[in-house]
Structure formats: structure tokens, C-alpha cells
Structure 1
Amino acid sequence: MNEIRVHSYDELQKELFADSWNEEIGRFRSRFAFRGLSDASYSLKTTLMRLGGNYADLERHLMRNFKKYAHRSAVESDAFWNWMAVAQHYGLPTRMLDWTYSPLVAMHFATANICKFNLDGAIWAVNYVKTHKLLPRPLCNKLEEEGANVFTVEMLNEAIPSLQHLQDLSRDNAALFLEPPSMEDRIVNQFAFFSVMSDPQRTLCDFLHEHPAIWRKIIIPAELKWEIRDKLDQSNITERVLFPGLDGLGLWLKRHYSPRCIEECELVQGIGGQLPRRSP
């Protein structure tokens, strides 16, 4: 069973840290990417897909204009993957999805929106090492040469230097994970990285259902969310830490002092504005 419904906070912790023992090095080092969702019914759709219409053809126009209007100091290197990472981080619709190495950060995003505490949440866990073993041989070789489990933008700029090169991989239905540069404290504090599909019209869900051995989806019952949220706050896993700055501070305080009643929470959310952008 790839979907696991937990019934307690302790059971959730056990499932999130399952399979983290690494026999080769004798350490607990998980090989999973985590993504927390406030609603278990949400799919793994990219922001590019959510545009609707002929979104795949719009991708190159979005990137071209982002590069044209962005200040050149926005990226360390004028290379394709540097621009993609910056664009994703600053909210441009892309084929990337946000993930985190941290189970606790994923728990935060599954429980950050108190107006959805009447709905089950979910945390997706995907083994990125096993995912990369399914890549075409040249990309596998690149990881092996570097002794790495996840791509950096530098590695991908060498192996897949343009959007057209990425598009050429579509026939392989490839999925990969990459770490962005540490361009901002939010990326560092959220322990964030991204997934990318070679075909922008295929969801990661499609890929995962073809490879059931590499993932699981942990369902968080609605009735557990308040306990998880309070324990995360006590552990300092909050917007104040994950979104450094006054916007994160304001969101943390607003949520912290919001009433538990769902109807009142919806009113507070409506008055208070939008959530900040996220990385995982």
C-alpha cells in the first residue's frame, strides 16, 4: 500500500523517518524528498500546469520574458538552470515542484493553513535515489561521477544546458531532483529542493504510479492537525523561521492567535491576506 493513514503524532513520526537507516555508512540518512499538502486531495501539479490552456507552449515565453525583465544580479550565472531555480523561487509558473529534505518542514506545510483543519492533509515521500536510477544512462553517469544523489544547477547546466535539451528528454519520461543555489535564507531554512519532469505535460503523480516502489503518501487525519501544529510551534518550526522577515513574522503571529473555530478562522484568513510564497 502506497497510501498510509496515520492515527497519532507518534505514528506520523515513525512513518516519516521509516527507511532512513543507511547500512553503508552506519547512519540514519533518509533518501526521501517530502512535500506537505494541507488537503490530501491535492495532486502533484506544477504551477505551470495550473495556468491551464496551452501551458506547455507558454513555458518558453514565460522564461524568456522573466530573463528579459529580471535584474541580471538575480542569478549567479547566466545559465538555464540558474534562471529556472530563481524563477520558481520568485513565483513564476514553471514545471518545477517544491520539496524539502525535512519531514518537519513538510509537516509544517501540511498544517500551516488552519482554515483547512477540517480536511485531511498529506505528506508525499519520494525516494530520490531510486528515482534517479530510472534516468537515462548519461544522467546516471553524471551523478556517479560526482558521487552525488541529487543534481546541482551546475551539474544540470552541463548535462541539460537548455529548455530544448530538456524537452528532448520527454520521450524518456524522466523525473529528477535538483538543489537550487542558496540564494535566500528561505531556501536554506526550508531545506528546499525541486523536482522536474522532462515532459511538462506529465504530472509527477503519473510517473510515481508507474513506479510504486519509490514513494508513499502519508495521510494526516483532520483531527490530528491541531496536535501536530501545536507541537511544531513548540519545536520552533514556524513561519517566523521558514520565511525570515516581517511577512513570516506576521503570518506566524496571525496563525498563533487565531481562534480554533473553523468559521472564525476563515474570516481571519479573508481579512488577513495571502500566504507567503513557499519553497517545499
Structure 2
Amino acid sequence: MSAWNDFLAQVREAESELGNPIEPWYRGHSDETWHLVPSLPREPNWEIKEKELFFEFNKTASRLFDKRSNDWETLFDMQHYWIPTRLLDWTTVMGVAIAFILHSDYADAQDSALFVLDPIALNRLSGRVDVISVPEDKSFEYKTIYWEKRPVQIERPLAIRPSQISDRLRAQKGTFTVFGTENSSFETAASACFRKIILPSAAKQEAREFLKWANLDEYTIYPDIVGMARHIKRKILS
């Protein structure tokens, strides 16, 4: 069995161990040593900086595009433009997660990892029965829940689905998890809800062929000028 086929067999086994969720979510890391921690909580005093980043982005971005109708849309914009947030990006399409790995500049330097998540099982840990749709769910407002900690402090990560999505999120079949507190990370509080599968460097050539057949290049999953430029660069120079 090839390294790629062995990897796919491990993905199937992981989904089976999770109870074959109706809609598993996937996330790719180009370096298999990275943990499921968003960019913002890696910063010291990150909860204070969260507010400063949000207000500064909201103030500055108003000069560049239309004001968003709610705080979640602003947060999605911040994530889109690489401002640190408490969000982690996921996708409902495994091929997109593989593309995130292989489109990294460091993809061939080391083994990588694919994470498989049962989002409903994750939310049940916090007493919720389904993935939270935002901003439709008016009981789940960003600042109220995560800044004011009302009605309770959310400790574990939660799975949310953006309903008003950009072209990029639509192309990527994008979803998110929202980080709660330091002491309730994925590894410490939700380990039963996800599995990690190593994508070895030996499997990456076949993985690239898979992406080619599936038409998952930078331009199809980043349908904007940035994605187009990355696609042209990789196509001609790689």
C-alpha cells in the first residue's frame, strides 16, 4: 500500500472512531507538531489584545469597505486578512484541508497533519445540540459571550457556521471553531471529538496529483486576485 493510500485508510478509520459524523470537518497543518490553538491565544495577555485588535481593525477597515452589520462578520474579516483572532478555520471538504497543507511554502519540509472533527459532538460538550449559525443565532453574540462572559463563561471550543459568507469562504466550504479559555483547549477538553492523522512527506506527491484531479488549486479555493497570483506563480515557477 502506498503512503497516500495508507493515509486515506487512516482518515476512514478516524471517521469511524468518531462514529461516522454526518458532516465531519477537516483542518490541515503543514507542520504536524502544531496544536489546535488559534493565532490570538498564542499571544501574551491575548484577551486584552483581542479587544484592541478588534477596535483598531473596525476603525481602520471602515475606510476601505462597507461597515459590517454585526461583530461576527467583522471577526470573519479579521481572520480573512490574517489579523489574530480566537477562530480556527475548518472545512467540510477534505481536499480543501489537504490543499491548505500543500499550498504552504513549507509543505515539503516535514510531515504534516490532517485533523478530523465531529462538530456536533464538540458542541454537545457545552450543552448545545447542533452547530451554531452566526449571526442568525441572536443568543450567541460575540462580545456578550466572549468579552462580557454572559450568561456564562464559555470554556470549551465551540463549532460555528457563518451564514453570510464571502466568496472565499464559499469556495472553501469554510466553517470555524471559537476558542474558549486557556485551560479548556482541544487537547485538554475535547480530545474525544477529533482525530489527528499524519500526512507523511512520502505521500505528498500523490496528494498533489489528487488535488490536480480535483481541480483544487490556489485560484479555485482563493477566488480573488491573491489566489490567482499564487496560482500563476506556482504553475509557472514550480
> What TM-score, normalized by structure 2, do the two folds share?
0.84
State the SS of the aligned residue for 2:135.
helix
Counterpart position of 2:78: 87
Answer whether contact 1:74 1:86 (CA < 8 A) is retained.
no
How far, CA to CA, are the matches of 1:113 and 1:244 in structure 2?
A: 17
Among 75, 78, 93, the residue aligned to 1:102: 93
* CA shift for structure 1 position 91: 2.3
1:244-259 paired onto structure 2 within 5 Å: 244-259=223-238
Q: Point out the structure with max Rg over C-alpha.
A: 1
Describe the superposition over 1:16-48 as per-residue Cα deviations: whole angstroms up to 9, x where unpaired: 35547xx9xxxx874322111111011222121
- Say if 1:32 and 1:126, in contact at 8 Å, map to a contact too: yes
Aligned-residue Cα RMSD (Å) equals 2.9
Task: Report if the CA contact (8 A) 1:112-1:229 is conserved.
Answer: no
Aligned to 1:237: 216
Q: Where do 1:12-161 residues align within 5 Å?
A: 12-18=7-13, 19=15, 30-50=22-42, 52-71=43-62, 73-75=66-68, 77=69, 79-113=70-104, 115-136=106-127, 140=128, 143=129, 149-156=130-137, 158-161=138-141
Distance verdict in 2 for CA 1:105–1:223, change over 3 Å:
same
Q: Which residue of 2 aligns with 1:213?
A: 192
Query: Percent identical across equivalent pairs?
Result: 25
Measured in 2, the distance between the counterparts of 1:187 and 1:17 equals 25
Q: Residue 114 of structure 1: CA displacement?
A: 5.1
Is residue 99–residue 216 contact of structure 2 (8 Å, CA) maintained in 1?
A: yes
Gaps of 5+ in 1: 1-5, 144-148, 260-280
Shift of 1:160: 2.8
Q: What residue in structure 1 maps to residue 167 of structure 2?
A: 185
> C-alpha deviations, 1:222-267, integer Å up to 9, x for none?
11112211221232011010111332222123223445xxxxxxxx
TM-score by length of 1: 0.72
Offset of 1:179 from its aligned partner?
Answer: 1.6
Q: How far apart are 1:164 and its partner, in Å?
A: 4.2
Structure 1 runs (4+) deviating above 4 angstroms are 169-172
Alignment partners' CA distance in 2, 1:89 and 1:202 = 27
Q: Is the Cα–Cα contact under 8 Å of residues 30 and 106 in structure 2 kept in the other structure?
A: no
Deviations 1:105-158 (A, max 9, x none): 01111211254313001011111111011114xxx2xx5xxxxx32111344x2
* CA–CA separation in structure 1 for the residues paired with 2:165 and 2:79: 12
Assess if the C-alpha contact under 8 Å between 1:208 and 1:214 holds in 2: no
CA contact (8 A) 1:7 1:221 kept: no
Deviations 1:90-116 (A, max 9, x none): 322111111111111011112112543
Q: Offset of 1:56 from its aligned partner?
A: 1.7
Consecutive unaligned residues of structure 2, counting only runs of 5 or more, are: none
